[in-house]
Structure 1
């Protein structure tokens, strides 16, 4: 390959900064990034920004109603979609949709006639699917990181033009591409991508995952040393694994290719055979929705048809080898299929309200409790119960009752902040986690929620309007002032305060006051 003068990193960064053809995020996406830096911003503020891009609104609505979320009822407005998907997912999806519209504007050298976008979108889908299988808290973060893993290719194509696109087309695989880039330019798309994402002011964990996911030894080391305290190691390992799965699909998804990707999944994430088969099956099932949302055909239909057979062949052979007897293997496979069916039924969200479910809440509560103790910052928990809901349900029917639950959930969620967690605890009970929030601030937030719920008519018949209220209890972990030894003790205190509210007449808020130093 012909050589040319190599540029050092500072020169490349300067070219990225001043390149007029450099991809730029649309204005709405840039505003979302800026708004996301404000932890006190409410959901309505994000909805107002997104509303300026009708195409983006439509895609978010389609996503909320797609198989990605599997809600029992249709989402009919943008604010509902944001509420059901969650703010973090909305931001990540909005940026992902914006990214798909980018090109380097190089005419005949456009990357659209290569497998660049297919590989990027497959990596994004695989990363999200892995995150769901491993029960990570924010799967859409993984989708966004997967889509951005090779964003530096766009930057290099914009900066270097057709010669670079030709180099990209002629590279036999991804590892070779990095070697060719380093040999020819003294710089690769990994560093270019990291600098581009910094230029866009995206969060550190996203741009750091770009270079860490290209370092396989580091990903494996992260797992062995459990160096994932900041989440970046885990995110990077998932994206690296997802990229290997994407390459296997692009190569035709043969049993050999999927087996090679499985070895990577084992090394980076300690994924076992049954988890891997579940990931491949879920990707296959969600492929039509992914192709529709991003308006791309990612895999030839014939390849997609054979993927399930290849994955099942891989799983069966491995299980037979491990068990060393066909009779025992048959029993194991039957148990495995039942386990896979059970896992597919589990989700992080309540299907009626779109809020997080109790299982997710308990894990998030433990995480926020530990963070509050470590950072010596206040942490408040709110327990909410809809007043006289059973009577309302009995009088007007379960269909109306379900609508009331969904609407109350949406009202509470709309007032919540970016950093808060809102979950359905069970029945007509909800729990809100308010990190970095003391008692006074928590009461102010809950009063806004109660006001929003109280002012909403939930049933209109003629001139009559039925309104709903809720009762709430607040308990706060205040380092140095209150003593709660466990997350369970904190949420029990909030529940106790709730029952005091209900005993005193409902429709207001009680703060748990025991344990004060």
Structure 2
């Protein structure tokens, strides 16, 4: 919440633009559920520029009407009273603010960029609503337009103090956190206070502040604030399509807030492209040169597809990993060993397998607890990962047992590596407290396909041999490496 000092600065700021009389009246009508169509037409007709904008909007592809409106009453008939009020408010409010000179004529803050982004956000909000087949498209448009109005308010009421904070980052979410640290409130909260001061309908003002919070459960269905939240990232990407970070942030936001996949996002961007000219015409502001628009969609498709494949790979990787240590899980190990064994038999290639068991590890857990035990397991895995090749596979085979597959590696070449791994495990030390330092050792059983090919008919035979060698290493006094042989 904004504190009393910030609230007073907002309420008594003399440079804050005042709304034109027609905008005030439109807000009043928008808050009146029984607004009379005649009164709506009368007040809008008082502003010739607003009237012309509404007529032009009613006849654009945005509303897909088969009728042509030639006067305000016909426009209201085609669009409906609520839609006309929201469009009129969007234009009247924005037009007065765009033309109002800011007290902060700083090179840091570019009001043209601010309004281009706001209009792009309005376009994106509406496109999201259209894709989701929502029945409050114009509310989405207005809310998208003004959801960042708090940034403008900060610049007007405290240009010098806000300048340093605004210049500290180009990332929206980081800016919000920096504002809260510096002023005790973010532009979402200040914007909400300003919208309340202007008597903007509550549901619009609330959606603007809520769009800056955490995503709500998706089972509630698509909401006004969810569309607004995603629209910010869509606007950023739409304006800066060559910035890879923008598409990454958009992809994540669309997933978090709406559960959208890449195909849906591409369809939303298509809708934005179709409706771009009508929105630019309404505000007399160019978001993109017409020659650039087709390229945006083409690049979006390519980048979103790359992100989609990357996300699939990440999910697949997580399903194959042990959650505690990051080593591959047993299922992945079994599949990999079967594949590598088949390749070895088919092409007569060497293959070595090692099973690594941490000695007396139950005693470590019983004495020092599972937190210490878990730390040591994770450290062992990291130690091994640091020394093996990318093609080698380390898996958590059991509780404190790990299995290592070394493709294309004969036993003679594997010996030095496995010896280093045993010594590296023995070198691990964990300071449990001021009096206790935990050391561990490992017993390792090794089997290799190339040297003893006649003994192994399938992958299970190879792992049984390594397991047998491990058993021998334990009985030989532990902290040992034993290589399996037919004898």
TM-score range normalised by the length of the shorter chain: 0.5 to 0.7
Residue 38 (structure 2) aligns with: 44
2:250 to 261, 265, 272: 261
1:118 aligns with 2:112: no
Distance 1:38 1:113, change over 3 A: closer
CA distance in structure 2 between the aligned counterparts of 1:95 and 1:311, rounded to whole angstroms: 32
Residue 139 (structure 1) aligns with: 137
C-alpha offsets along residues 196-241 of structure 1, whole Å, 9 cap, x if unaligned?
A: 11111111111111221111x2x2x3325x2x6xxxx811110000
CA distance in structure 2 between the aligned counterparts of 1:175 and 1:321, rounded to whole angstroms: 24
Residue 271 (structure 2) aligns with: 282
1:223 to 193, 218, 224: 218
1:32 aligns with 2:26: yes
Residue 158 (structure 2) aligns with: 160
CA distance in structure 1 between the aligned counterparts of 2:187 and 2:310, rounded to whole angstroms: 41
Distance 1:163 1:304, change over 3 A: farther
Verify the 8 A CA contact 2:262 2:305 in the aligned structure 1: no
Distance 1:41 1:211, change over 3 A: closer
Residue 397 (structure 1) aligns with: none
For residue 113 of structure 1, report the CA deviation from its aligned partner.
4.3
CA distance in structure 2 between the aligned counterparts of 1:37 and 1:322, rounded to whole angstroms: 45
Counterpart mapping for 1:337-348 below 5 A: none
1:105 aligns with 2:102: yes
C-alpha offsets along residues 98-124 of structure 1, whole Å, 9 cap, x if unaligned?
A: 232204522623855452111111111
Is the partner of 2:223 in helix, strand or coil? helix
For residue 23 of structure 1, report the CA deviation from its aligned partner.
2.7
For residue 253 of structure 1, report the CA deviation from its aligned partner.
4.8
Distance 1:323 1:243, change over 3 A: closer
CA distance in structure 2 between the aligned counterparts of 1:317 and 1:161, rounded to whole angstroms: 41
CA distance in structure 2 between the aligned counterparts of 1:105 and 1:282, rounded to whole angstroms: 33
Residue 235 (structure 2) aligns with: 246
Residue 12 (structure 1) aligns with: 6
Q: Once superposed, what is the RMSD of the aligned Cα atoms?
A: 2.7
Is the partner of 2:105 in helix, strand or coil? helix
**Greater relative contact order, per chain length (Cα 8 Å cut-off, separation 6+):** 1
Residue 293 (structure 1) aligns with: 282
For residue 318 of structure 1, report the CA deviation from its aligned partner.
7.3
1:177 to 175, 178, 188: 175
Counterpart mapping for 1:83-482 below 5 A: 83-101=77-95, 102=97, 103=100, 105-106=102-103, 108-109=105-106, 111-113=109-111, 115-165=113-163, 167-215=165-213, 217=214, 219=215, 221-224=216-219, 226=220, 234-253=223-242, 257-301=246-290, 303-314=292-303
For residue 39 of structure 1, report the CA deviation from its aligned partner.
2.2
Verify the 8 A CA contact 2:26 2:85 in the aligned structure 1: yes
Distance 1:166 1:47, change over 3 A: farther
For residue 72 of structure 1, report the CA deviation from its aligned partner.
2.7
Identify unmatched segments of 5+ residues in structure 1. Answer: 1-6, 325-517
Verify the 8 A CA contact 1:254 1:307 in the aligned structure 2: no
Counterpart mapping for 1:485-504 below 5 A: none
State the aligned residue count: 309
Verify the 8 A CA contact 2:248 2:307 in the aligned structure 1: no
Verify the 8 A CA contact 2:62 2:275 in the aligned structure 1: yes
Verify the 8 A CA contact 1:123 1:246 in the aligned structure 2: yes
Residue 478 (structure 2) aligns with: none
Verify the 8 A CA contact 1:222 1:234 in the aligned structure 2: no
Verify the 8 A CA contact 2:104 2:156 in the aligned structure 1: no
With normalisation by structure 2, the TM-score equals 0.58
C-alpha offsets along residues 243-286 of structure 1, whole Å, 9 cap, x if unaligned?
A: 01111223325576335413321221122333221110111122
Name the larger-Rg structure.
2
For residue 19 of structure 1, report the CA deviation from its aligned partner.
1.0
Answer with 249-258 or 233-242: which moved more.
249-258
With normalisation by structure 1, the TM-score equals 0.55
Is the partner of 1:22 in helix, strand or coil? coil
Is the partner of 1:137 in helix, strand or coil? coil
Verify the 8 A CA contact 1:104 1:154 in the aligned structure 2: no
CA distance in structure 1 between the aligned counterparts of 2:33 and 2:141, rounded to whole angstroms: 22
